[in-house]
């Protein structure tokens, strides 16, 4: 079994529908979904604001690379095109953190593989990841360059402008009793 933190975002087309497609596609593997946030684009490319959320997932059949492949499949289904680094995108699904079972509980995966670097090398610098992650896992911790801290401390260390660019919306990705997202 592996547990993962997925950061999902979209700033093209029906942004909310694209985020819902991930939550719906993950179905019963979803443990928790954060509120939806509107965030300024990151990376200096002129583009529309993003909708972002965090999805906690768990699946006995997937390892960390399996979560990457799953995210890439959602991106392909949304016709994601990678032309400009940090550019506009129909859908972005990043594996931020992943853990596999160990004798004393989940063991976070650490990988320097260029295909899947874990934990995500920029997660601690991005309020649009940390703020919604706190919503669904307030006690979460993240290790960066050998330094293990609660994600709330990583967030507090960010520039105020970075934090101020993340705004909670009234939109929701939670599934209702009938199975549809509300």
Tell me the per-residue pLDDT of 38-86, one tens digit each, with 9 for 90 and over: 998 766 767 789 999 999 999 989 999 999 999 999 999 988 776 666 6
Nearest Cα neighbor of 133 from 41, 56, 48 is 56
Cα gap 132→72, rounded to integer Å: 21
Does residue 103 lie in a domain region?
yes
Residue 27 domain-assigned (yes or no): yes
Print the SS3 string covering 57-99. EEECCCCHHHHHHHHHHHHHHCCCCCCCCCCCCCCEEEEEEEE
Is 170's pLDDT higher than 80?
yes
Residue-range definition of the domain harbouring residue 97: 2-168
Residue 182, domain member (yes or no): no
Q: Does the pLDDT at position 151 exceed 80?
A: yes
Does any domain span residue 30? yes
pTM of the model: 0.90
Given a cut of 70, whether residue 131 has pLDDT beyond it is: yes
Let me know if residue 181 belongs to a domain.
Answer: no
Please indicate, yes or no, if residue 147 is contained in any of the structural domains. yes
Whichever domain contains 83, its CATH number is 3.30.70.560
Average pLDDT over residues 93-119: 88
Q: Given this model, what pLDDT does residue 180 score?
A: 45
Instruction: Please count the structural domains in the chain.
Output: 1
Task: Answer whether residue 175 is part of any domain.
Answer: no
Residue 66 lies in a domain: yes
Instruction: Report residue 89: phi and psi, to 5°.
Output: -150, 145
How confident is the model at residue 104, as a pLDDT? 83
């Amino acid at each position: 079994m592996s547990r993962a933190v997925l950061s999902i975002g979209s700033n093209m087309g029906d942004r909310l529908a694209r985020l819902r497609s991930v939550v719906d596609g993950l179905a019963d593997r979803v443990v928790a979904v954060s509120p939806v946030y509107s965030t300024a684009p990151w990376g200096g490319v002129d583009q529309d604001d993003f909708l972002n959320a965090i999805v906690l997932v768990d699946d006995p059949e997937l390892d960390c690379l399996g979560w990457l492949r799953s995210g890439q499949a959602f991106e392909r289904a949304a016709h994601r095109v990678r032309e400009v680094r940090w550019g506009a995108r129909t859908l972005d699904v990043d594996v931020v953190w992943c853990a596999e079972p160990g004798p004393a509980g989940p063991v976070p995966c650490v990988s320097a593989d260029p295909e899947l670097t874990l934990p995500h090398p920029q997660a601690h610098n991005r309020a649009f990841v940390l703020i919604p992650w706190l919503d669904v896992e307030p006690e979460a911790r993240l290790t960066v360059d050998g330094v293990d801290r609660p994600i709330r401390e990583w967030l507090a260390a960010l520039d105020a402008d970075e934090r101020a660019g993340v705004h909670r919306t009234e939109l929701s990705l939670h599934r209702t009793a009938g199975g549809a997202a509300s």
